[in-house]
Structure 1
């Protein structure tokens, strides 16, 4: 089997794959909500795979598990916004993690940037990005994106994803 065939093959549960899932289940990850504007309307999803890659050019990386629905729309967008969210957005992050759940309601606090993307002004930071490269890995797609604008928001207690649940991290003022 070639490298390309291995990277695009349908995933099969293996002991190593199951071990990897178990290992990362206990490795905390930051939480982000990624949004984009499409001709059909706004789309979004929750991601715990966002990481910085470089500062010159400013770049991040994340992965999505399929190229359909919201993930497919984000993969096809010219630009998108990666919202780094805090504890008060745990319910919103959960909503964006479940297909078909309510999204982009006025009660959720969404606005629209002048460039058209959905924006959560209350997020700790919002990174407006454009994709540089995508790489298919099995049923996932890794996205490398250039950050073209950083919008600062309100900082609170950081939110992490651990063992299939969201958790707030204490801040210096939580003693």
Structure 2
């Protein structure tokens, strides 16, 4: 893996203290369900409804996600911080009965307890260094219970006060 430049190290330091929302992105693949935690999800447009996110590498869960025809972006809350940690670490327990996953009629793993779940399909994938930026069309939106929002800052998950 290449060593980041001074500018790259500066960018990492800048974004380490920039809070970001937390999502778990899941997909169904021929090898089984895959998922990962992402803090790079952002809204792009409402007409057509579109979002953007990035994943590192095109192998493992990220590779499965990039090759899946559709995926679900779960915007999660404080109650799911352990789940976010599990999906952020390779080899961790995923999709266990205790985690309360379900499956959508279209086949994707679905967490009904997520604040929102966005079923999407990739419109465009752009490779950038060791990452891929995904621009995705939102096909369906599922609203769940509204808890305390979860953010990622300084390599830790933090909860925000409940929003009415």
Task: Extract structure 1 runs of 4+ deviating beyond 2 A.
Answer: none
Q: 1:104 and 1:95 mapped to 2: Cα distance?
A: 10
Q: Structure 2: how far apart are the matches of 1:11 and 1:155? A: 41
Query: Which TM-score applies when normalising by structure 2?
Result: 0.98
CA separation of 1:172 and 1:34: change in aligned 2, threshold 3 A: closer
Post-superposition offset of 1:108:
0.2
For structure 2, the residue ranges without an aligned partner over 5 or more in a row are: none
- Is the radius of gyration larger for structure 1 or structure 2? 1
Partner residue of 1:113? 104
Question: How far apart in 1 are the matches of 2:106 and 2:2?
Answer: 37
Q: SS in structure 1 opposite 2:147?
A: coil
Per-residue deviation, residues 23-61 of structure 1 (Å, max 9, x unmatched) = 000000000000000111100000000000000100000
Once residues 71 and 22 of structure 2 are traced to their aligned partners in structure 1, the CA distance between those partners, rounded to angstroms, is 16
* Structure 1 portions without partners, runs of 5+: 1-9
1:44 and 2:39 correspond: no
- Please give the root-mean-square deviation of Cα atoms over the aligned residues, in Å: 1.0
Kindly state the Cα deviation for residue 14 of structure 1 after the two structures are TM-superposed.
Answer: 1.0
Q: Distance in 2 between matches of 1:125 and 1:164?
A: 23
Matched, 1:62 2:25: no
- Write the distance in 2 (CA, Å) between the matches of 1:16 and 1:41: 39
1:89-100 matches, within 5 Å, as 89-100=80-91
Structure 2 residue 142 is the aligned partner of structure 1 residue 151: yes
Number of residues paired by the alignment? 164
